[in-house]
Amino acid sequence: MHRLTRTIHSPRLLLAIACLLLGGSFAEGMQSAARTTSVPAVRKADQVAILSVEGAINNITASSLKRRLAAAVADGADTIVIRMDTPGGDLMSTLEICRMLKAEAPANTIAWVDPYAFSAGTVIALACRETVIAPGGMFGDSAPVSPLGPIPQTERAKIESPLLAEVVDSARRNHYDERIAQAFVSLGIELWLLENDETGERIAVDRAEYEAIYDQPPPETIPGITPSSDETPKIAPWFETLMSGAGAPTTSPEEDLSGMVQRPSSRSRLGADDRERWTLLGQIVSSDRLLALTPNEAMAYGFVPRTIADEIELKQFLGANSIRRYDRSWSETLVMFLVSWPVRIVLITIFLVCLFVEFTFPGTGIFAAGSAASLLILLGAPWIVGLAQWWDILFVFLGIALVATEIFLIPGGLVAGISGALLILAGLVGTFVSGDMNSTEMVDGIFRGLLIVMTSLIASIVIMWWLARRFEHSSFASRFMLRTESGPVTGNGRPGSFEKTADVGIGDEGVAITDLRPAGRIRCGETVVDAVSSGRWIQKGDRVRVVRNEMSIEVEVAGE
């Protein structure tokens, strides 16, 4: 009886377990489907490519992003995520990256601020279709600055115009409030945040509109503002009515951006009749500061739907099937390192010191090779990234030629030497200059280049002074220096036993027993001494005359 019962109950138990497993799998599948369908279609991704932007934004950043973007698109990526941690960068590179994102990237572009994207980073983030931010992150503060100090009003307006046109274009494409977006770039913008008591809609108003609604000046405090309860930003963009009446904003890169800034505002201004329907939440930005946003503020103002801490959350946020990172290549990282200001100071110092040593003790080739290698890196790395122009390189080589002419051919004239030094200085400074030659960016590049080159020059002079004092007595230098010796001359033209001093007077004549370029050896009677040509190079066998005998013996070709 027990066996029969056990036999009957076993299939029932197995059936119950199978039903539970199937039910669990079905429920999990339904939940997974629900998660997938909860991602908006405009955001839904299949293959996601993450392109990182780290450090200062410059020409290298723009060219690297262009290469990686093309590679990601070729690999089938339908969503591009720009992961940013940057303090900012130069204007032209920023505008080029924005143009690239709008014209060449897939429509679904996401800026991931992780953790900071200030200045140019904010402008690039606004150019993306959507922005997310890491917990504790921040972005904003995008006004142009100059290392020369405060920018005059006219020059500031000239620099801000393309930036304002860019952020306004981005705001209208991506449905941000354009006046809040402009507060990232310009001082003097005052905005307050109001919320509709009935719909929860939020709007930004300036001082004039606030006074029209409440018939009193707005408060000058900035209390904490909490974000909306869901992921959908509820702030109404200032241009929303204009866009709904005129159609979607164009995505053509040839669009007249200056015209956007001049378009009339679209949302109808509020007045006293609207006073009971709107509640003040707080001040967004005051006139004496630039806008910089934390995650809560960014969500409250409609710039960010949520925070993203890692790639797992990013994948869930996009409903993606795969994520792949496209990092900078080793060559791009190397060039970025070589054009950094500490490395360029070291390279310029090595170039000048090696040039000095080679001209002082010629013939070894070691210091000439060191000078040439440092010069190649100095000019080659900026050339690769578009900083150095042909005239920079021409100036440097012409300068070296003039300095060599001064030392070896026409010493004492100074004209060739000074001209050569100035050409080398101009060429090296020129490798720091990019962009419009009449722009403030060009002036900043010249100032930065002069500062770095002058720092290198001071360091080089100190090292040269130290070498001049110690080089002659060092065991290392003795390998490269010709010593003054005297003694009888043997049949092969070499001295036999030598004295440390030579009894050679001014006006004495002799014969060059080696080439003097400019240093070599001469024979005066039975004495062989080291000598230096005071003018052009002297060939072996030429008759020479001593013109100076102090710390060294200087000679010239006899009869000249």
Same domain, 539 and 446: no
The answer to whether residue 267 sits within a structural domain is yes
Among 392, 327, 340, 354, which residue's Cα sits nearest to residue 480?
A: 354
pLDDT at 46: 94
Q: Choose between 546 and 113: higher pLDDT.
A: 113
Amino acid in position 380: G
Q: Choose between 430 and 457: higher pLDDT.
A: 457
Those residues whose C-beta lies under 8 Å from the C-beta of residue 293, and which sit 6 or more positions away, are 138, 139, 140, 301, 303, 304
Amino acid in position 35: R
SS3 134: coil
Choice among 97-101, 330-334, 433-437 with the minimum mean pLDDT? 433-437
CB atoms within 10 A of CB 427: 25
The answer to whether residue 151 sits within a structural domain is no
Choice among 136-145, 430-439, 513-522 with the minimum mean pLDDT? 430-439
- As a whole number of Å, the CA-based R_g of the chain is 37
pLDDT score of 5 more than 70: no
Those residues whose C-beta lies under 8 Å from the C-beta of residue 193, and which sit 6 or more positions away, are 202, 203, 204, 225, 235, 280, 281, 282, 283, 284, 300, 301
pLDDT at 494: 45
Q: Choose between 455 and 9: higher pLDDT.
A: 455
Same domain, 402 and 422: yes
Query: Between helices 390-408 and 415-430, what is the axis angle to 10°?
Result: 160
- For the chain, how many helices (H) and strands (E)? 17, 15
Domain boundary among 417, 450, 477: 477
Distance of CA 272 to the CA centre of its chain: 50
Same domain, 507 and 464: no
Same domain, 98 and 196: no
Domain boundary among 477, 502, 523: 477
CATH number, position 523: 2.40.50.140
pLDDT at 200: 86
pLDDT at 55: 92
Amino acid in position 421: A
Same domain, 315 and 361: no
The answer to whether residue 22 sits within a structural domain is no
> Is 231 in contact with 313 (CB distance < 8 Å)?
no
pLDDT at 473: 58
pLDDT mean across residues, the chain: 79
pLDDT at 559: 77
pLDDT score of 120 more than 90: yes
The answer to whether residue 70 sits within a structural domain is yes
pLDDT score of 51 more than 70: yes
Same domain, 349 and 275: no
Among all chains, which residue has been given the structure tokens 């370029």?
517
pLDDT score of 247 more than 50: no
Q: What kind and span of H or E run contains 285?
A: strand 278-285
> Is 379 in contact with 388 (CB distance < 8 Å)?
yes
Choice among 102-106, 128-132, 227-231, 383-387 with the minimum mean pLDDT? 227-231
Same domain, 371 and 467: yes
Highest mean pLDDT among 158-167, 241-250, 390-399: 158-167
Highest mean pLDDT among 294-298, 410-414, 526-530, 555-559: 294-298
In whole angstroms, give the CA distance from residue 51 to residue 70.
Answer: 11
Choice among 324-333, 403-412, 448-457 with the minimum mean pLDDT? 403-412
Give the residue ranges of DSSP H helices in 327-439. 330-338, 341-360, 366-384, 390-408, 415-430
Considering its fold, how many domains does the chain have in total?
A: 4
pLDDT score of 14 more than 90: no
pLDDT at 13: 52
In whole angstroms, give the CA distance from residue 223 to residue 455.
Answer: 47
Choice among 59-63, 99-103, 290-294, 503-507 with the minimum mean pLDDT? 503-507
Same domain, 343 and 441: yes
Residue 60 phi/psi, 5-degree rounding, is -65, -40
What tokens appear for 339 in the block? 């054009």
pLDDT at 468: 74
pLDDT score of 456 more than 80: yes
Amino acid in position 31: Q
What are the b/e assignments for 168-207, b being 16+ CB within 10 Å? Answer: bbbbbbbbbbbbbbbbbbbeebbbbbbbeeeeeebbbbbe
Strands 527-533 and 553-557, sheet pairing: parallel
The answer to whether residue 7 sits within a structural domain is no
Those residues whose C-beta lies under 8 Å from the C-beta of residue 265, and which sit 6 or more positions away, are 238, 239, 242
CATH number, position 60: 3.90.226.10
pLDDT at 277: 92
Same domain, 365 and 471: yes
Domain boundary among 434, 455, 477: 477
Same domain, 354 and 460: yes
pLDDT at 439: 60
Among 556, 560, 540, 559, which residue's Cα sits nearest to residue 411?
A: 556
What burial class does residue 381 get, using C-beta atoms within 10 Å of its C-beta: 0-12 exposed, 13-18 middle, 19+ buried?
buried
Residue 67 phi/psi, 5-degree rounding, is -65, -45
Range of the domain at 132: 35-136+307-328
Q: Choose between 481 and 39: higher pLDDT.
A: 39
pLDDT score of 220 more than 80: no
Same domain, 121 and 176: no
pLDDT at 264: 39
Provide the pLDDT confidence category of residue 173 given band limits of 50, 70 and 90. Answer: very high
The answer to whether residue 21 sits within a structural domain is no
Same domain, 468 and 346: yes
The answer to whether residue 58 sits within a structural domain is yes
Amino acid in position 221: T
> Is 358 in contact with 369 (CB distance < 8 Å)?
no
The answer to whether residue 141 sits within a structural domain is no
Angle at 47 between CA 43 and CA 49, to 5 degrees: 90
